Structure 1
Amino acid sequence: MTKFNHANLTVTYIAPITPFRPLEGRKYTLSHSDTTGKLFLTVGPEYSYSTTTVAKDEVFAEWVQSMGEYSLYGRVHVSSGEFDEQQSGVRFMIFKKEMDLALTAIVYGDQVFYKSFPWLLDAPIYIQFDSIYPEFKKVLYYGTPRQYLASLRGQKVT
């Protein structure tokens, strides 16, 4: 995994979403620059789809409620047929390898939000890998926001 550097993260909020509210409808789009290594997090009421990225390398996530409990549910695009099985496998492995970095950026970039909703620090994070190839079409558990913030601070987050 690439090491997270907060100086390489740019966060943009799109109204009516603010660093503090609301929870409902809060969507995250994380993109990156392969040349600079910079990460770009957009937090808004809609996903921010790139018009320049052909490979569809963004990570999309949102807070979803099921049976009274919230989880951060994300998704990434592995392949819908534009990549063959071998290329899709490479994309799947890269997404898996870099997902901790992506989730660290999302959680760190929106960390003020957790002051308004501290109980979400312990919400589960799930990532859906979308692919036409069954071996890459999965939903994986990635811990909690608290774990990502704690790993950055080297201590427990309160």
Structure 2
Amino acid sequence: MSEFDPHKLTVNLMTPATFAQPVEGRKYTLTHSDITGQLFLDIGYMYNMQVVNPQMRDEVLAEWKKDVNGHLTLAGTAYVDGGEYSSSAAGIRFKIFMKEMDTAISGIVYGDRPFYARYPLLLDAPIFIHYMSNYPQYRQVLYYGTPRQYLSQINVVHR
């Protein structure tokens, strides 16, 4: 991943999900190819764990959840480590996730544009990413703005 290129995004809507349903519990599985730079987004009622590389664990998962006040938020996770890496290796993974997260979120938001057309209030919902790690310095929940901010930054050049 790197700078987001909409032409390198492939979206798979997993039935019975549609661009209208579900809302709460809507799940995103974002994976990529290091070789081609292609992004792959699966949208559904469940995560598509069949596309996740169990050795790499470099996917970004996200879902629409209600917060403590009942408002929907886009809550994502990035798997830094579960104790299988040294602190320095986990640190490298954490830095890579941090560097690439804007691209990943852009892919998730851009790939589900018809959903936002039906639910425009969600354009201003907060996005939080939970970095999962056994090391406290990498175990963090960070705020990443709103879907509207990501859509406004994407320039589509028609080819």
What TM-score does the superposition give when structure 1 sets the normalisation length?
A: 0.93
> Among residues 112, 115, 118, which one is paired with 1:113 in the alignment?
115
The amino acid of 1:103's aligned partner reads I
Q: How far did 1:53 drift?
A: 4.2
What secondary structure is seen at the aligned counterpart in 2 of 1:80?
A: coil
CA distance in 2, matches of 1:62, 1:114: 14
Q: Which moved more, 1:18-27 or 1:68-77?
A: 18-27
Q: How far did 1:24 drift?
A: 2.4
What TM-score does the superposition give when structure 2 sets the normalisation length?
A: 0.92
Q: How many residues align?
A: 154
RMSD: 1.5
CA distance in 2, matches of 1:99, 1:51: 17
Q: Which residue in 2 is equivalent to 1:32? A: 32
Whether the aligned pair in 1 keeps the contact of 2:26 and 2:45 (CA below 8 Å) is: yes
Q: How far did 1:54 drift?
A: 1.0
CA distance in 1, matches of 2:155, 2:73: 23
The aligned runs of 1:121-140 (5 Å cut-off) are 121-140=123-142
CA distance in 1, matches of 2:25, 2:147: 18
Whether the aligned pair in 1 keeps the contact of 2:75 and 2:128 (CA below 8 Å) is: yes
Q: Which residue in 1 is equivalent to 2:105? A: 103
Q: CA distance change for structure 1 residues 35 and 45 in 2, over 3 Å: closer, same or farther?
A: same
Whether the aligned pair in 2 keeps the contact of 1:21 and 1:116 (CA below 8 Å) is: no
Q: Which residue in 2 is equivalent to 1:45? A: 45
The amino acid of 1:72's aligned partner reads L
Whether the aligned pair in 2 keeps the contact of 1:125 and 1:141 (CA below 8 Å) is: yes
